[in-house]
Structure 1
């Protein structure tokens, strides 16, 4: 096909026009993907004067086609004549950066960033900067009537901050960020709260502390007591990181009270996010200062009159123990963990048992043998039969993580002795425990020590005891078959 005037030099553009007007999306997509070949055929001058204006004027296609176009143009520098003419790519990419589909806009911005590096300083000022003069638009977007627009500004705020540089950040973005942190919509506040640490990290170093203390921290203090739990949770996930930015003195004076307030928040996720990041604060103020300030609040929660609050703290304990280390844990929190085993609420005792297993997984069997196991086994003589049963539950949980040697030498003798307990509930739990720890034991131990006790329990006067003893002897529960 030739052009209307018969000039074969118009062929690539004519073909491109036909293909881009075709109803077949795949054909249009294939056409876009071979733009570089068409540009080579046209040469740099006709690419600048014909191809790029045509593409700029006809950007109205399917998202998939526009995405491919945005990507292609990011590699067009040499095809338009090199850095001297790279500014010719700005109009089509600017149009693509304003389409509705997010992935297309993101790809266009990515290509704009790529070609910005090809501009000379003069061309950047003349051609590119009028396109990155975004502050009027940004200010308008940050105050847009639609909360979804404001949300997107908050969500992309760190990227905006990196793009505009320190001066614009200090003069324009700091007030905008303050407004987003105070936004009337919770979704916007949550998105902004999630960016607090990153925003503060990227502030210019010469006046970072002053900006944070004067402009950002007052907003953060308000968010700590926000009415929306998602906002508080988003803040709690990043606020601990401010300690490394502000240093020891500011952390102790200004941040610790906020951490304490969040540790006592009614929302479990807020408390978890604070406990999950204690290591950030530990690095700045040290473990002793941490123990004097935050740990009393944790202990207070661990002894709260509401059992669900106590339960939440138990679930965080392995995470906390891993951050504080074994020595500090033994000194400050070990007693607390053992006290939960005799709590009057069954759900607490059950969670405390699981907690011990996770602690042993973290600190090791030797630690368990010296620290945990003796205290657990001591409960076998407790006058309260519920506490004696907790001993059995703990043994069930600890046998795998402690291993065969500790289970056989220390825990099994206690279980066997408890088979003579006067309370039937204890006796049938002995049968269940022997069933549970059986796979950990050697065959000779099962034959010489476990089987005789189970045989005796199988003739117990209590029907439940007999039932569970027979279950353990059935050959399906223990790893070795008995005749």
Structure 2
């Protein structure tokens, strides 16, 4: 090795060997990450003849290093001489595809899929297909698992005879003795279905799908749901009815909640693939079953899909189907014992309003919205308030204000301060949906009332709320509706409320801008520098520090700094400290 190291032409390989033999994993990892640089130094011929064989023969046992190698090799085709020589990368990647660590195998398969795209059809049959066969018939389940992800990238570019061999191999993997292999096959069945000729989708892919959907392992059955989606997209409506509907119905009543959960999660994708007519005829009962499932996870997953499911129903029967088959179960979910289920439903239920129309919304949905607005779970209330615009478009602002707004106001004045806090946090969103005029008429006073709440957290949140409202409605609105009321607080007998004035000014100043600060709020802050309470005075100093950075230099020199200099000699040490700090920052 010393001789090799002395030969400049072998230097990169010699260094790489030494580093990979080093016990320091980080050093090995760094070496792998600079493989492309080493390959460039060697040139394409020596990379093929020396570097790739070395990497194949000297696999270490550190998963991090192997992962880095698998990732690097996926982009190595140009470094070995282009597409004509891409096959030389298969050997090290094949070894990596058989290791025990899943993330390494997955990355190796990802790189193999990339490299397969660099092969010509002839090279695929000569080099890639034999690799797939070796992996698919290997003794260890790791190799058979990895092979499942390679069929779809080769299938469409090989001869008819080889295609038949690949389909047979994949069918064997679907019936493998090891559950992990069947899982891998189930997860890739949809990919293969998309590239297989249509005649074989029905004659071969669908039987594989049925076998996987009836597997004894629920981890295999749940993956077959994705296969159903992919296959349904390839079939006619009549074929879906003949070959897939029973499988979907069986999944909706599967003994494993995990299978039912995945079906619930994928239900609208299945619905879209199968078509609206078959959905109305056959899938509505399955959807109903999921809505009343015994497992909360399943109910939460399907609750998320209620709006999309209803939206995709056949238009002429949509409203009747919703009212008779879906809404009764939705009403049950509104009062579900699990907060995740209620929250999931609240995030989509408002979207039913445009689907069912004004009358049905007022009669059936508004009572549910009111219940959710009073729910003890804050996420439920947030999700309802976040989607009020859907209802507003259907029933109008007047009806909305009569039915839902009283509930919102009631929550805003709730005895529990955490409930009030939750409503404050939703207020900017609510205001933007309802509009400025409606906000001024109905909610402005409420927002100002929070500024004098006896709980500090509420007052603090209220000041942040005002800033967000100014950002939504603009400075002109703030000048008329907010700033005068904030300034009035500076005259309050309670020093805590006078301090709230300063907190509001701190929040509002960036939104107001320099000119408006000088004209509207600076005189108030300067006057408050004479407050008899030290806490107010040192907050004045902190506020002057902040707005001094926003107003023009003349105002700082003529008004801000003289006030701060006077406060820097205040009898209170805290006032002195914050005033001196402000002077240093504004210097």
**TM-score, shorter chain, exceeding 0.5:** yes
Mean CA deviation greater in 359-368 or 22-31:
22-31
Q: How does 1:230-309 map to 2 (within 5 A)?
A: 230-309=340-419
**C-alpha distance in structure 2 between counterparts of 1:62 and 1:222, whole Å:** 38
Residue 385 of structure 1: how far off its partner (Å): 1.4
Between 464-473 and 404-413, report the one with greater CA deviation.
464-473
CA offsets per residue over residues 343-362 of structure 1, 9 Å max, x none? 11111111111100111111
Contact 1:93 1:112 in 2 (8 A): no
Post-superposition offset of 1:65: 7.5
Residues 1:114 and 1:244: Cα distance change in structure 2 (over 3 Å): closer
Cα distance per residue 1:264-286 (max 9 Å; x no partner): 11110000000000000000001
Q: What is the 5 A alignment of 1:367-382?
A: 367-382=477-492
Aligned counterpart in structure 2 of residue 189 of structure 1, from 270, 278, 299:
299
Structure 1 residues 181 and 452, CA gap change in structure 2 (3 angstroms): same
Supply the distance in 1 between the matched residues of 2:187 and 2:260 (Cα, whole angstroms): 25
Residues 163 and 312 (structure 1 numbering): CA distance in 2 closer, same or farther, change over 3 Å?
same
Moved more, 261-270 or 461-470: 461-470
| Alignment correspondent of 1:5 | none
For the pair 1:21 / 2:21, whether they are aligned, the reply is no
Aligned residue number for residue 347 of structure 1? 457
Instruction: Pick from 238, 243, 246 the counterpart of residue 131 of structure 1.
Output: 243
- In structure 1, the gaps of 5 or more residues are 1-9, 78-82
Q: Which residue of 1 aligns with 2:171?
A: 56
1:307–1:19 distance in 2 versus 1, CA, 3 Å: closer
3-state SS in 1 of match to 2:482: helix
1:71 aligns with 2:191: yes
Corresponding residue for residue 517 of structure 2: 407
Q: Which residue of 2 aligns with 1:94?
A: 209
Aligned position for 1:150? 260
For 1:95 and 1:472, locate their aligned partners in 2 and report how far apart those are by CA, in whole Å.
Answer: 74
Contact 2:538 2:575 in 1 (8 A): yes
C-alpha distance in 1 between matches for 2:343 and 2:169: 49
- How far, CA to CA, are the matches of 2:419 and 2:510 in structure 1? 29
Cα 1:424–1:86, aligned 2, differ >3 Å: closer, same or farther?
A: closer
* Structure 1 residue 143: Cα displacement: 2.5
CA distance in 1, matches of 2:577, 2:205: 81
Change over 3 Å in CA distance of 1:421–1:65 after alignment to 2:
same
What residue in structure 1 maps to residue 159 of structure 2? 39
Q: Tell me the CA shift for residue 152 of structure 1.
A: 2.2
How far apart in 2 are the matches of 1:69 and 1:147? Answer: 22
Q: CA deviation at 1:401?
A: 0.7
Higher alpha-carbon deviation: 381-390 or 18-27? 18-27
> Which residue is equivalent to 2:533?
423
Preserved CA contact (<8 Å) 2:228 2:270: no
| Residues 280/36 of structure 1: CA separation in 2 closer, same or farther (3 Å cut) | closer
2:231 aligned residue (77, 92, 112): 112
Structure 1: distance between partners of 2:486 and 2:411: 23
- Contact 1:154 / 1:191 at 8 angstroms: preserved in 2? yes
1:73 CA displacement: 4.9
C-alpha distance after superposition, 1:463-483 (max 9, x if no partner): 22222212212x1x32xx2xx
Trace 1:3-18 onto structure 2 (pairs within 5 A).
17-18=133-134
> 8 Å contact 1:73–1:89 — kept in the other structure?
no
TM-score by length of 2: 0.70
Give, in whole Å, the separation in 2 of the partners of 1:58 and 1:146: 23
Q: Distance in 1 between matches of 2:421 and 2:530?
A: 33
1:206-255 per-residue CA deviation (whole Å, 9 max, x = no partner) reads 22212211222121112111111111101101110111111111111111
| Root mean square deviation of aligned Cα | 3.1
Tell me, in whole angstroms, the C-alpha distance in 1 between the residues paired with 2:204 and 2:278: 26
Report how far residue 14 of structure 1 moved: 8.2
Q: Distance in 2 between matches of 1:113 and 1:179?
A: 21
Distance (whole Å) between structure 1 residues aligned to residue 525 and residue 241 of structure 2: 78
Q: Secondary structure at the match of 1:381?
A: coil
User: Are the structure 2 counterparts of residues 238 and 37 from structure 1 closer, same or farther at C-alpha, using a change threshold of 3 Å?
Assistant: closer
Provide Cα deviations, 1:278-316, integer angstroms capped at 9, x if missing partner: 000000001111111111111111111221111111110
Q: Is the 2:187–2:226 Cα contact (8 Å) retained in structure 1?
A: yes
Cα distance in 2 for partners of 1:285, 1:25 equals 60
Determine the C-alpha separation between the residues in 2 that align with 1:14 and 1:460: 87
Could you say which residue in structure 2 is the equivalent of 1:3? none
CA distance in 1 between counterparts of 2:566 and 2:235 reads 85
Give the superposition deviation at 1:180: 2.0
Deviation at 1:162, TM superposition (A): 3.1
Structure 2: runs of 5 or more not aligned: 1-124
Distance change in 2, residues 1:170/1:324 (3 Å): same
TM-score, normalising length: structure 1: 0.84
Q: Tell me: CA distance 1:443–1:428, structure 2 relative to 1, closer, same or farther (3 Å).
A: same
Greater RCO, CA 8 A, separation 6+: 1
Distance 1:300 1:267 in 2: 16
